[in-house]
Structure 1
Amino acid sequence: MDPIGISAIALSILSPNITKNEINKVAYKTTLTIIIAFFVVIISGEFVLKVFGIDVNSLKVMGGLVLLLMAISMINGSSGLISNSDGKPNEELAIIPIAIPIVFGTGLFSTIIIFKHEANNIADLASISIAYCLNAVIFYFIFKNSIHIKRYLGETGQNVITKLMGLIVGALSIQFIISGVVTLAKSYLN
């Protein structure tokens, strides 16, 4: 989780005149969603992949493509695949796209499944859960106060950060795609 980077992305999606009270609600709803998503994945993530016969690397490739589209959109000056230009209440954007897939995307999904595989006992699972929840709380406080960053930076600063984050998200997306494709190719060629 990258709370500072995600806050910049989220602020570019939310309406430009969002109030402190609205951002508090969005931060709360987003954090609650990612905590619920964590427990759903840790309990049933492997099962879902097995049922559909999906390799984790396929998730990496698809997630990389989605992130690449968002990155291109951010670099071109729009706020991502989804914006608040249609007048949606900011709270509606808290779950999709902010919580899922921006905060809780394929990378986090894959990481949770990998950590679960490495867990040897219930104590290991408990420590993974506690660590994730602590990260979620840190994310909540940073995201909740991100409106101050937006006010400090102004419109130009926010545009610069959005374009820089677009470059970073684009680089991450390419890394996801390459990693997933290379691993899938190796497994199918052997």
Structure 2
Amino acid sequence: MSDTRPSLPRVPRPLAQALALTPPGALSLGLTRYARAVATRHPAMFRRLGAHGQARFLIDPTDLPFALLLEPGGGRPRVTLLRRSAQAQATARIAGSLSALLGLVHGAFDGDALFFSRDLAIEGDTAAVLALRNALDDAELDLSEEIFAFAGPLASGLRPFVGLVERHTGVVLHRPAETLPW
């Protein structure tokens, strides 16, 4: 039986190289502010983590020059951008292409299918990862809508840009109506 599903999109190398030039402190600050805005809009998501609310998750988009250390902080999250050479103590590591990770958050892809197809790798405390997955699934996040809410009056200008990026890259930037075939 052959695998007929298309391969997951990857971040183009020139874009990844450009992102490598971004100051990690500035991105960490922006991502932390964004995560805290999401936490304010979805406090139940962080409560759903239960005993894993203080876990440290290393989110590793393998097609980007950095990883993200997510510390839920019991509802006051912090996100730290780490260069590939940096070491971080984490409860668990979740690795895959950016498109796989975003598709998983948006519920577009089945996490088990990504794991068994080796498009997603998990290391460390799998119970913590499962708690994070369940919290995200229950919250039904749409990261684009969260960005629009965070951007306030700038959202109207961002909407067409997000749609354009999604169409040209194939990366799922919103919550689709149904699960995709990954």
TM-score, normalised relative to structure 2: 0.28
More helix by share: 1
Structure showing greater radius of gyration is: 1
More strand by share: 2
Higher relative contact order (CA 8 A, sep 6+): 1
